[in-house]
Structure 1
Amino acid sequence: MVAKNIELEDKHKGQRCFLLGSGPSIKQENLKVLKNEIVFALNNFYVHPDFQEIMSGDVEKYYMTAPIHLPQTEQEWKDWFEDMEQYIPKHTKILFGLNTYKNNTRYILNKYELFNNHQVNWYYTGINTGEYYSFNKKDIKMTNMIWNANTISIYALISAIYMGFDEIYLLGIDHNYVCNQGNQWRFYKEGLHQKNEISRTMKGKSYNQHTFAATGKIFKQYQMLLEKNKIYNCSNTSLLDIFEYANLEKILKKSVN
């Protein structure tokens, strides 16, 4: 399945793109201005009030989800994908993630006949980038197994780098969970697949301890991806300080001039 991704390699060389996460900082931005920009909308972003306008325009648009996992049930994932399918325009190119989880996204989509009328590519995760890992470029090549990651933004960056984008801009990728209450983690209150997610996942364990440990691993991956790539963070309230800050309005004005 991932062999098909060869069609994506360096497809956008010399271009720029914008990755759209669900962090609360994105509420401060006018995203309608991205109508004519290449964007990657991530995970549950289809619930954004301006989603349809952002995904219109005459440039390519991408939608990307991470591999699915427990504790969500098959029914919860089915409901989420069914809802998502209604909103994603047919011209959008979709990247779905897979891992070793038995009832994965492909299983759900095939069983319930979802996204049959969309353009779908798959990526496969499984490489551990733990303490003794040394970066190898083939590990972020989309025709191979790629890194395991704890956040969709890593997978989106890997995809954008593989596609050859010269400049990559992040919006709504905040990593400020420890600073906010659960209902303030994202620009929306709760996704169909995110009901009681903390209590179900942590089962009485320390959420902050888990988050700090996971964030350290994620930031290490960000640092490795930053090498030789131009990646900028456009969210000024984000805790993601690996990347240089860039103001969205100034970027867009500069491109016009």
Structure 2
Amino acid sequence: MLKDEIVLTVNQISRNKQFKSLNTNYHFWADPGFFKETSKEGDKELLEVMMSVNTEGNRPICFFPLEVKEFVTDKKLDQVLNVRYFVPGHILFDQYKKIDFSGMIPGMNTVVQYAIMLGIYMGCTEIYLLGCDCTGILSYIETKTDSGNFEYAYDISQAEAERMKAMLGGVSCEQTFYGWAKIFEGYRLLGGYCKKRGIQLINLTNGGILDCLPRKKFENVVK
């Protein structure tokens, strides 16, 4: 379905049983919660998930923030994965001049936005988002209310559920909701950046709450 497209994926999508069929070209990891040093079962499992983006006949380029290079080398991920690094640090604003992945780029609050910026840097004139429903905030609410139901495009193990609960439970409501406000701001600013340059940034996700980007139906775009 996507074999003739440039495919960028993020986080733990390799847990999805259909991941291999995506033939992803680039994969991103950015959330600091993925790089904490512990010996718990969920963290060991996460390393296996990171390495599983390599599939039969496909070894995508995997991007990590430069600040976690020591983690990547200590865990020998660079010996398995085709690793590259990016350097977040700038602040994205309405008049931001140029997104340049060869230097410092804006620091964002969600990994998807780094993937969008790489697409912009590579000269893509059409960038389509899939699975970007922006409902991750519900995972935080469920953690705080002890319901513990995490919904993703893939199944997670009990060990991963426990890892996520521990990670989310240590963050205050104020921090979390501020972070989510910055996520929506980031999508709005990237949408404006693209519009000024004639780049189509379109959300093909079915449902969700991302309301600052134009939408199209998946079946009308992906044949």
* Aligned positions of 1:229-244 closer than 5 A: 229-244=199-214
Query: Which residue is 2:145 aligned to?
Result: none
SS in 2 for 1:46: helix
- Give the 3 Å change call, closer, same or farther, for CA 37–197 of structure 1 in structure 2: same
One-letter amino acid of the structure 2 residue matched with residue 216 of structure 1: A
Query: Which residue is 1:5 aligned to?
Result: none
SS in 1 for 2:105: strand
One-letter amino acid of the structure 2 residue matched with residue 80 of structure 1: L
Alignment check: 8 A CA contact 2:15 2:156 kept: no
* Aligned positions of 1:152-191 closer than 5 A: 152-179=111-138, 181=142, 182-190=148-156
In 2: Cα distance, 1:42 partner to 1:222 partner: 16
* Aligned positions of 1:1-12 closer than 5 A: none
In 2: Cα distance, 1:153 partner to 1:204 partner: 21
Query: Which residue is 1:203 aligned to?
Result: 170
Alpha-carbon offset, residue 233 of structure 1: 0.7
Alignment check: 8 A CA contact 2:63 2:86 kept: yes
Alpha-carbon offset, residue 68 of structure 1: 3.1
SS in 1 for 2:71: helix
Alpha-carbon offset, residue 222 of structure 1: 1.3
Alpha-carbon offset, residue 144 of structure 1: 1.5
Alignment check: 8 A CA contact 1:183 1:190 kept: no
Q: % of aligned pairs identical?
A: 26
**Residue-pair matches, total:** 206
- Give the 3 Å change call, closer, same or farther, for CA 184–86 of structure 1 in structure 2: closer
Which protein has greater RCO, CA pairs closer than 8 Å, 6+ apart? Answer: 1
Alignment check: 8 A CA contact 1:82 1:114 kept: no
Alignment check: 8 A CA contact 2:14 2:49 kept: no
Structure 1 counterpart of 2:47, from 81, 92, 101: 81
Query: Which residue is 1:136 aligned to?
Result: 96
Q: Structure 2 length as normaliser, TM-score?
A: 0.78
One-letter amino acid of the structure 2 residue matched with residue 54 of structure 1: L
- Give the 3 Å change call, closer, same or farther, for CA 128–114 of structure 1 in structure 2: same
